[in-house]
Amino acid sequence: EPEVTQTPSHQVTQMGQEVILRCVPISNHLYFYWYRQILGQKVEFLVSFYNNEISEKSEIFDDQFSVERPDGSNFTLKIRSTKLEDSAMYFCASKKIREDGYTFGSGTRLTVV
Amino acid sequence: ELKVEQNPLFLSMQEGKNYTIYCNYSTTSDRLYWYRQDPGKSLESLFVLLSNGAVKQEGRLMASLDTKARLSTLHITAAVHDLSATYFCAVDIAGTYKYIFGTGTRLKVLA
pLDDT per residue over B41-92, tens digit each?
999 999 999 988 999 999 999 999 999 999 999 999 999 999 999 999 999 8
Report residue B11's pLDDT band, with 50, 70 and 90 as the boundaries. Answer: very high
Nearest to A36 by CA among A104, A88, A79: A88
- For A105, counting Cβ atoms within 10 Å of its Cβ (0-12 exposed, 13-18 middle, 19+ buried), the class is buried
CB contact under 8 A, B42 and A31: no
pLDDT value of position A2 = 79
| Phi, psi (deg, nearest 5) at residue A62 | -95, -165
Report, as an integer, the average pLDDT of B94-106.
89
Residue B15 has pLDDT above 90, yes or no: yes
pLDDT value of position A89 = 97
pLDDT value of position B44 = 95
Rounded CA separation A41/A20 (Å): 23
Rounded CA separation B16/B76 (Å): 10
β-pair partners for A11:
A110
Cα pseudo-dihedral A73, B39, B18, A100, rounded to 10: -10
pLDDT value of position B96 = 83
pLDDT value of position B98 = 82
The pLDDT > 70 percentage for chain B reads: 100
In B, minimum Cα distance to A42 occurs at B103
pLDDT value of position B63 = 98
pLDDT value of position B37 = 96
Rounded CA separation A91/B64 (Å): 26
CB contact under 8 A, A99 and B50: yes
Rounded CA separation A67/A69 (Å): 7
> Residue A42: its chain B contacts at CB < 8 A?
101-104
Cα–Cα distances (Å) from A52 to A27, A48, A67, in that order, read: 14, 10, 10
Rounded CA separation A73/A71 (Å): 6
pLDDT value of position A88 = 97
Strand A10-13 versus strand A108-112 pairing type: parallel
Rounded CA separation A113/A105 (Å): 24
Rounded CA separation B67/A45 (Å): 22
Rounded CA separation A95/A62 (Å): 24
Low-confidence ranges of chain A (pLDDT < 70): none
- Selected residue of B44, B98, B100 to mutate for chain A interface (largest A Cβ count, 10 A): B98
> Residue B9: its chain A contacts at CB < 8 A?
none
